[in-house]
C-alpha cells in the first residue's frame, strides 16, 4: 500500500469513472444515430464510422452538432411510449378514448339501469346485451 498513495488511487478511480461515462455517452450517440429518421443511410454510416475511428472526437462533434436533436428525439420517444402505454391500459381496461365511457361494463350497467327503470323490456335488454358483448 505504500507504493500506491491515496492520491494515485483517487486519480485512477477518476479516470475509470470518466472512461465509463464516456462509454455511456458513446452508446447513447450510436443509439441516437440509428434512431434518427431524418438521416439517410449514408449519413448514418458516416457518423458511425467517424465515432468508431475517432471515438473521442467523433462523439464530441456529434454532441455539439446534433445535441439538441438528441434531446428532442428522447422527448418524442418518451411521449410515444407514454401514449402507447395509455392506449394499452385503455384497451385492456375496456374503456374508450374518453377514459371511462364506452367500456363493456359501463354499457351493461347503463342497459341494466334502463331495464330497471322500465325503459327496456327484458327481450330488448337481452338483444342489447348480446350486441355489447359481441
Does one domain contain both 83 and 113?
A: no
Percent of the chain with pLDDT strictly greater than 90: 38
Question: Looking at the 3D structure of the chain, how many domains does it have?
Answer: 2
Does one domain contain both 69 and 117?
A: no
Does one domain contain both 82 and 105?
A: no
Is the model's pLDDT at 40 over the cut of 90?
yes
pLDDT score for 121: 85
Q: Among 57-61, 67-71, 95-99, where is mean pLDDT lowest?
A: 95-99
Does one domain contain both 54 and 85?
A: yes
Residue 130, judged by CB atoms within 10 A of its CB (0-12, 13-18, 19+), counts as exposed
Does one domain contain both 86 and 118?
A: no
The residue-averaged pLDDT of 97-124 equals 76
What are the pLDDT digits (tens) for 59-70?
999 999 998 889
Mean pLDDT value across the chain: 86
Does one domain contain both 80 and 120?
A: no
Q: Which domain holds residue 115?
A: 99-134
The residue-averaged pLDDT of 15-37 equals 92
Does one domain contain both 73 and 128?
A: no
Does one domain contain both 48 and 17?
A: yes
82-108 in b/e form (b: 16+ CB < 10 A) is eeeeeeeebeeeebeeeeeeebeeebe
Does one domain contain both 58 and 3?
A: yes
Does one domain contain both 124 and 84?
A: no
How far, in Å, CA of 117 to CA of 111, rounded? 10
* Band (110; pLDDT cuts 50, 70, 90): confident
- DSSP run (H or E) holding 119: none
The residue-averaged pLDDT of 117-133 equals 85
Amino acid at each position: 500500500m505504500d507504493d500506491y498513495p491515496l492520491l494515485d488511487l483517487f486519480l485512477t478511480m477518476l479516470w475509470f469513472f470518466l472512461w465509463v461515462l464516456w462509454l455511456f455517452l458513446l452508446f447513447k450517440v450510436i443509439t441516437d444515430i440509428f434512431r434518427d429518421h431524418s438521416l439517410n443511410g449514408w449519413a448514418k454510416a458516416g457518423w458511425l464510422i467517424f465515432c468508431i475511428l475517432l471515438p473521442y472526437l467523433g462523439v464530441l462533434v456529434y454532441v455539439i452538432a446534433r445535441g439538441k436533436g438528441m434531446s428532442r428525439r428522447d422527448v418524442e420517444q418518451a411521449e410515444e411510449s407514454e401514449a402507447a402505454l395509455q392506449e394499452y391500459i385503455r384497451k385492456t381496461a375496456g374503456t374508450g378514448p374518453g377514459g371511462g365511457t364506452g367500456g363493456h361494463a359501463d354499457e351493461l350497467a347503463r342497459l341494466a339501469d334502463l331495464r330497471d327503470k322500465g325503459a327496456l323490456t327484458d327481450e330488448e335488454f337481452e338483444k342489447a346485451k348480446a350486441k355489447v358483448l359481441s
